[in-house]
Structure 1
Amino acid sequence: MKLKLGILDQSPVTMGGSAASALENSINLALLAEEMGFHSIMYSEHHGVEAYGSSSPELLAAIILSKTSRIKIGTAGIMMRNYSAYKIAEWAKMLSTFYPERFILGLGKAPGGLKDAVMALNNHKPVVLSNMETKLEEIIQLIREEEGIYDGLIAQPTHVQHMPEIMWLGSGMTSAKEAAKHGTGYSFAAFMNSENGMENTEAYLREFDGTQYFSQPSLQVAVAVSVAGTIEEARRNAYGMAYQFLQSRQLVSPNAVLSPEVIEEKILGTKDEDEFFTFLERIIIETPQSVQQKLRQISEKYNTDNLLILCNMYREEDRVYTYKSIIENNN
């Protein structure tokens, strides 16, 4: 049985490159992904960081939807603390009207940037962090055109024939239970938290309420992958991702994807060396011949065929090689 494979594209900027080049790479990757048979592409949201080229996944998703005809396109995700539920519902309904059954509304609770960027997005006002689940409820009410807290306020366009698929992003138990409670899909970030993953996904599947937004659970698992001709090459190609994971854990702004040689100079022999290699071990590092078996093991472990693949590399040709190797061996 083939896996339902998707791409998590963060529009990675590489050392010496630019955000414009990263966005052009994202467009080219999307066209290739549709041609090769990927099920979906999801775009992330980051603000005020050098590492990622896209700050507006909803705009990038709209552009890619206009350039493709089959593949599902979504956000992974919209950082809800920075926007009103009303505005999110409006543009989500617009994209679902123009591209019925192809747009996925992925929503997340993470800030999407460090303190200064989050403050700027919120007009330099303190961010209320306790209302994320309430915002999800409001978005659902506005999309479904239910009576809610707005006394008849509508979110245009109304009478959308195909409501957008909603994925609630997270890496912890709280997000899993919230997705189950509201009947949305759940995208579990295994590349961020693989230790307690099965507990979270099992809770989602067990507690899913089919009387809410969806009638059936939709579980997606996001993993980081590096594929090359040899394990050693794949391992070195993954250095850039591992270093960005390390920087995010340390709450510093991630660099553009650095070359393996530069990372070795920064890491080897320092206090961060052990933690860096811990992050590296969380990445699935395989050859074209072995990657399918590994992804099937992940699929069986989490009881889902829906896998979202993250791959940020110093050389774009290595990133493309990883995605090609994965889809060509999906049989």
Structure 2
Amino acid sequence: MKLKLGILDQSPTIEGGSALQALKNSIDLALFADKAGFHQVVYSEHHGVSAYGSSSPEILSAVVLEKTRRIKVGTGGIMMKNYSAYKIAEWAKMLGSFYPGRFVLGLGKAPGGLKDAVSALNNHRPVILSSQEAKLEEIIRYIKEEKGVYHDLIAQPTDLQQFPEILWLGSGIQSATEAAKHGVGYSYADFMKNDAGIESTETYLNEFDRNQYSPVPSLQVAVAVSVASSADEAKRNAYGMAYQFMQARHVQAPEPLLSSEIIEQRISGSADEEEFFKILDHIVADTPTQISKRLQEKAEEYNTDEIIVLCNMFREKDRMDTYKSLILTH
């Protein structure tokens, strides 16, 4: 099976580095991906943490769309709690009209930051925990120019050549069911390690409503990957990524990427050691000769032909080498 490979770019920062450099790295990676043949690149949204450089994936998407020519580019995703459906629809329609067929609107239900960041994004008012699914319905109505909450209100620009692709991000059965019900794509976060993964993606494919937003289901699986000349080296290169995943699980603000040596010192003999290595084992870490087979197995496991790769490395060269290995062996 020929896989469509994409990139989930969190614009990771490193210890002693800067968010600006992380964003420049993201642009360089996108330029490479466009020429190398990757299917798409999408950008995450994080607020109030020093680990990631991108707080505005819609702006980064606009910059990258203008600098590239072929690759699909989008948000992975916009954190819906922090914005109105109307404003999200306006972003999507503007980018969709400038770059028809290339902009992807990825939407997520997570807060996008810890408590203070979410409070600041919502003007220090309590976040209204209304249904994010209802907000998705409203976005679709604005994009399709159907009457919605405000009757004849339009979201400019109108009369798009084609609707932008919508991806609903999730890691569980509820998100899969919502994506299927509304006929939008579903991006399952395998890197978050949920035991209900297969059931989630099967639910999406089995329940997809072809009479809604899109007539064809679109299932992608986001996988954490590390490639190096040896499997041991690939695992060590992934230490920083695994450590950030662990911090996020503990509801801590992830730190910028640390070297494997520093992480080894912190983890060795600590209460977190067993958890850390379990997280590390879930990352697909292997050599250039084996990585294609590993990703094929992952795709077959989830019954999809689309894998989107997350790779955060302390050394940017190691991150780029991983993506280069993926495309060369694909």
- State the match for 2:128 in structure 1: 128
Match of 2:187 in 1: 187
| Aligned-pair Cα RMSD in Å | 0.6
Q: Return the TM-score normalized by structure 1.
A: 0.99
SS at 2:289 equivalent: coil
Aligned to 2:31, the other structure's residue is in SS state helix
In the alignment, which residue of structure 2 is the partner of 1:235?
235
Q: 3-state SS of the aligned residue for 1:290?
A: helix
C-alpha separation between the residues in 2 aligned to 1:149 and 1:241?
42
Aligned length: 330
> In structure 1, what residue type is equivalent to 2:165?
E
Match of residue 307 from structure 1: 307
Is the 2:172–2:194 contact (alpha carbons within 8 Å) kept by the matching residues of 1? Answer: no
The residue aligned with 1:291 is 291
Q: Give the TM-score of the pair, scaled to structure 2.
A: 0.99
Corresponding residue SS for 1:186? strand
1:312 Cα deviation (Å)? 0.1
Q: 1:75-107 CA distances to partner (integer Å, 9 max, x unpaired)?
A: 000000000000000011000110000000000
In structure 2, give the amino acid aligned to 1:245.
F
Q: Distance in 2 between matches of 1:21 and 1:83?
A: 27
1:20-62, Cα deviation, whole Å (9 max, x unpaired): 1100000000000011100000000000001000000000000
For 1:12 and 1:101, the matched residues in 2 are separated by 27
The answer on 1:210 being equivalent to 2:200 is: no
- Where does structure 1 lack aligned partners over 5 or more consecutive residues? none
Shift of residue 266 of structure 1?
A: 1.1
CA distance in 1 between counterparts of 2:214 and 2:175 reads: 16
2:104 counterpart of 1:104: yes
Displacement of 1:162: 1.2
Aligned to 2:25: 25
Distance 2:219 2:112 in 1: 23
Q: In the alignment, is the contact (CA less than 8 A) between 2:80 and 2:132 conserved in 1?
A: yes
Displacement of 1:194 in angstroms is 4.2
Amino acid at match of 2:8: L
In structure 1, what is the Cα distance between the partners aligned to 2:158 and 2:122? 28
- The residue identity in structure 1 corresponding to 2:4 is K
Matched, 1:199 2:199: yes
2:250 matched residue in structure 1 = 250
Superposed CA deviations along residues 144-177 of structure 1, whole A, max 9, x for unmatched, are 0011111100000000111100000000111000
State how far apart, in whole Å, the 1-side matches of 2:106 and 2:125 are.
25
Shift of 1:9: 0.3
Measure the CA separation in 1 of the matches of 2:83 and 2:194.
29
The C-alpha deviation readout for 1:188-234, integer Å capped at 9, x for no partner, is 00010342111000000000000000101100000000000001100
Cα distance in 2 between the residues matched to 1:140 and 1:214: 11
The 3-state SS of whatever aligns with 1:289 is helix
Consecutive aligned runs of 4 or more in structure 1 exceeding 2 Å deviation: none
Taking the aligned partners of 2:304 and 2:264, their CA distance within structure 1 comes to 36
Deviation at 1:130, TM superposition (A): 2.8
SS of 1:191's partner is: helix
Structure 2: how far apart are the matches of 1:137 and 1:263?
Answer: 43
| Counterpart-to-counterpart distance in 2, 1:45 and 1:269 | 34
Match of 1:53 in 2: 53
Is 1:160 matched with 2:190? no
- 1:36-185 to structure 2, matched below 5 A, reads 36-185=36-185
Q: Counterpart amino acid of 1:183? A: G
For residue 288 of structure 2, give the secondary structure of its aligned residue in structure 1.
coil
CA distance in 1 between partners of 2:198 and 2:327 (Å): 25
Which letter does structure 2 place at the counterpart of 1:115?
A: K
Tell me the secondary structure at the aligned position of residue 45 of structure 1. Answer: coil
Distance 2:303 2:328 in 1: 22
Aligned-partner Cα distance in 2 for 1:185–1:233 = 35
Deviations 1:86-145 (A, max 9, x none): 000001100011000000000000010000000000001111223201100000000000
Q: Which stretches in structure 2 are left out of the alignment for 5+ residues?
A: none
